[in-house]
Amino acid sequence: MKSKWWGAGAVGFLTATFAFSCANIGNPDGGPYDELPPKFVKSTPAPGSLNNKRTEISIEFDEFIQLENASEKIVVSPPQIQMPEIKVNGKRVEVNLEDTLQPDMTYTIDFADAIVDNNEGNPLNNYTFTFSTGNAIDTMEVSGTVLDASNLEPVKGILVGLHSNLEDTAFVKKAFERVGRTDSRGRFVIRGIAPGTYRIYALQDANQNFLFDQKSEMIAFTDSLVVPRYERRMRQDTVWQDTITIDTIMERAYTHFLPDNLLLRAFKEDATTLYMVKNERAVPQKFSFYFSAPVDSLPRIEGLNFDAADAFLLEHSLRNDTLTYWLKDILLCKQDTLSMAVHYLYTDTLGQLSPVTDTLNLASRQVVLPKKKRRKDDDEPAPTVFLKANVSAAASFDVYSNVGFEFEQPLAGFDSTAIHLQQKVDTLWTDVPFVFEKDSLRLRNYRLRAFWEPGGEFKLSVDSAAFRSIYGLSTDKIEKTMKVKALSDYATLYWNITGMPDTASAIVELLDSQDKVVRRAEVGANGGVDFYYLTPGTYYARLFIDSNRNGVWDTGLYAERRQGELVCYYPAPMELKAYFEVTQDWNLFQVPADRQKPDEIKKQKPEERKKKNYNRDLR
Report the CATH number at residue 514.
2.60.40.1120
Report the CATH number at residue 284.
2.60.40
Nearest to 225 by CA among 138, 141, 163: 163
One domain, residues 499 and 552:
yes
Look at residue 222 and tell me if it is in a domain: yes
One domain, residues 73 and 175:
yes
Look at residue 142 and tell me if it is in a domain: yes
One domain, residues 415 and 354:
no
Q: Given pLDDT bands bounded at 50, 70 and 90, which one contains residue 2?
A: very low
Of the residues 453, 484, 515, the one at which a domain ends:
484
Of the residues 363, 378, 393, the one at which a domain ends:
363
Look at residue 251 and tell me if it is in a domain: no
Look at residue 181 and tell me if it is in a domain: yes
Q: Is 542 a residue whose pLDDT tops 90?
A: yes
pLDDT for position 7: 44
One domain, residues 141 and 50:
yes
Q: Give Cα separations from 540 to 507, 519, 546, 569, 584 (angstroms).
A: 14, 11, 19, 8, 12
One domain, residues 281 and 430:
no
- Sorted by sequence, the CB contacts under 8 Å of residue 103 that are 6+ apart come out as 133, 134
One domain, residues 131 and 194:
yes
Kindly report, residue by residue over 137-164, the tens digit of the pLDDT: 999 999 999 999 999 999 999 999 999 9
Cα–Cα distance measured from residue 24 to residue 357, given in angstroms and rounded to the nearest whole number? 87
φ, ψ of residue 618 in degrees (nearest 5) = -80, -15
Look at residue 334 and tell me if it is in a domain: yes
Q: Are 477 and 389 in contact (CB under 8 A)?
A: no
Q: Given pLDDT bands bounded at 50, 70 and 90, which one contains residue 611?
A: very low
Say whether the peptide bond before residue 45 is cis (omega within 30 degrees of 0): yes
Nearest to 117 by CA among 618, 611, 616, 617: 611
One domain, residues 300 and 226:
no
Kindly report, residue by residue over 313-371, the tens digit of the pLDDT: 999 998 899 999 999 999 999 999 999 999 999 999 888 999 999 999 999 877 554 55
One domain, residues 147 and 88:
yes
Mean pLDDT of 205-225: 92
Q: Average pLDDT, whole number, for the chain?
A: 90
One domain, residues 331 and 226:
no
Report the CATH number at residue 435.
2.60.40.3710
Q: Is 8 a residue whose pLDDT tops 50?
A: no
**For residue 309, what are the domain limits?**
276-363
Look at residue 593 and tell me if it is in a domain: yes
Q: In angstroms, how far is CA 523 from the centroid of its own chain? A: 26
pLDDT for position 32: 59
Look at residue 66 and tell me if it is in a domain: yes
Look at residue 258 and tell me if it is in a domain: no
One domain, residues 156 and 197:
yes
Q: How far apart are the first and last CA of the chain?
A: 45
pLDDT for position 312: 96
Q: What percent of the chain has pLDDT over 90?
A: 78
Question: What are the DSSP calls for 289-305, one per residue?
Answer: EEESS--SS--EEEESS
Q: Is 243 a residue whose pLDDT tops 90?
A: no
pLDDT for position 372: 57
Kindly report, residue by residue over 37-65, the tens digit of the pLDDT: 999 999 999 999 999 999 999 999 999 99
Q: Given pLDDT bands bounded at 50, 70 and 90, which one contains residue 10?
A: very low
Q: Give Cα separations from 89 to 67, 108, 202, 539, 548 (angstroms).
A: 11, 21, 33, 52, 58
Of the residues 231, 252, 287, the one at which a domain ends:
231
Which residue did the predictor score with more confidence, 142 or 500?
142
pLDDT for position 23: 44
- HEC letters along 429-488: EEECCCEEEECCCCCCEEEEECCCCCCCEEEEEECCCCEEECCCCECCCEEEEEEECCHH
One domain, residues 550 and 455:
no
Which H or E run includes 21? helix 2-23
One domain, residues 71 and 183:
yes
Report the CATH number at residue 146.
2.60.40.1220
Domain count, the chain: 4
Q: Is 181 a residue whose pLDDT tops 90?
A: yes
